Structure 1
Amino acid sequence: MEIKKTMAVYFSPTTHTRQLTLAVAKGVASVFGTQIHFKNWARPRMREQDAVFDRETLAVVGMPTYAGRLPNLIAPSISEHLKGNKTPAIALVTYGSRAYENSLAELVARLSKNGFIVVAAAAIPCAHSFADIGEGRPTRQDIVDAAVFGQKTGLNLAQVEYENQLKPVAVPGDPEAPYYTPLKPDGTPARFLKAKPVVDTVRCNGCGVCVRLCPMGSIAVNPLSGKAEIHGVCIKCQACLRGCLPVALAFKDPDFLAHKQMLESHYKAHQDAAYFPFVI
């Protein structure tokens, strides 16, 4: 089978999904000698642009796991704007060293409904976005393993003569399952859906880095005060916190902090239990 273009599409507020998606794409491209093109869904306007791929393109689509599913405000963009025409694809999800649960099944299902033939899939543990578990992931070896995975998938595709010989991958999980319910240390639900970072107006210097990093476009610098303000929805991706050099942003919601504590107490000792669990 001839592949003339390798396309990497990813949503990656903390860069981990980006690193691994590109690594897989590089592995595929090394087999077919193609250039890597990419679509970074970092901003709302980027996710609103249609992307239509033909059958001579291989798409590597990477998404993070949020509460056991794809991010609920990002996933619809896959269904609405990512279109294939019997296009071979690799589905990749990252997860914060807790569990990917149903996110991979959801990604495969959404791509399959939109004209892609998902020929390989992977779920890869990374550092959690806000809890101190899985620190240091992905490691250099994770990146190498991702590239090898892409290369092996490319070699398998190269042996396929006709597109009707492509076999869709089967993955575990239920794409329609409910989201994981965050818990507190005592086992009761932690409810922080509307939680947002709090701006320390003393530390904030109005640099606007958080404005550029917010994938929802929910932060602006008030022209009168010169300080950052959060007006829109927050998906707790931590992009603004990680990019804020003055350390002027922090989550103070009690339920959010309680869930963070639960994750660290229950999963920190087991962060390496599932190492790069590919599903091919």
Structure 2
Amino acid sequence: MNQPIVTTGQHPDEESVRLAEQVAGELGTDFVPRRKRSVRKLMTEFGRPVVVAGKERYEYHTDPEVKPLFFHPGLAAIRIKRLQRGGNDAMVEVCDLGPGDAFLDCTMGLASDSTVASFVIGPSGKVTACEADPMVTYIVGHGLATYSDSPEEVLVAMRRIDVRNARAADFLESCAADSYEIVYLDPMFEEAIEESAAFAPLRSAGVHDLPDDRLFREAVRVARRRVVLKAHFRSELFSRYGFTRIDRANTKFHYGYIEIE
């Protein structure tokens, strides 16, 4: 991995510099003073990705032509509000989630699904989220711990998520059998959705392992109740691994599940 440099925003004060130096130390990489240089110029000059450690958020720049990755709750807050009003959520329904469940998200991304699961499961359950890319893990983990611009119930759900920097198959192999009621798989990059601009920063930054036999074998071993797959409607994974498929009209992603006997 090409280690990023860490810098400040364009007009840093002493606290901004201290924060950026702290982030560089945590990442084991170099702090570079901004000196009014653009991120594009810094990327060209150093030939490395750039982390801008701002007071409000951390941005991870991997490509000057792509917007940076930064943490935001996405649709999680809207989905949680819908649930509070008695509405439904497709992921919650296919996972059959309830209070006290243990949920393993094998493809964390920006943790929107993990946040919704954490809200439904409540304090008596547990949510573990795996992310293979160490920088995505760092940026999203920091966001989950510090983000404040959402309703309290959303923030509480975020704070409960146990973030792990690990490839999903490796983490599953480390788990005992029947460790989680639900093992959730969302290989979002199996087929790119061109119009989904919101995924571009994550697509640029993350590790995009293709699902394989080991992943699904270990998922079935670790799940107590269901293995749930979210994939593109053209995906062959549903039939290849024996998922009961739930087609969703007018959507590009469908769900499937394997019921554990």
Q: Which has the higher contact order (CA 8 A, sep 6+)?
A: 1
TM over 0.5: no
Normalised-by-shorter TM-score class: under 0.3
TM-score, normalised to structure 2, is: 0.28
Structure 1 or 2: larger helix share? 2
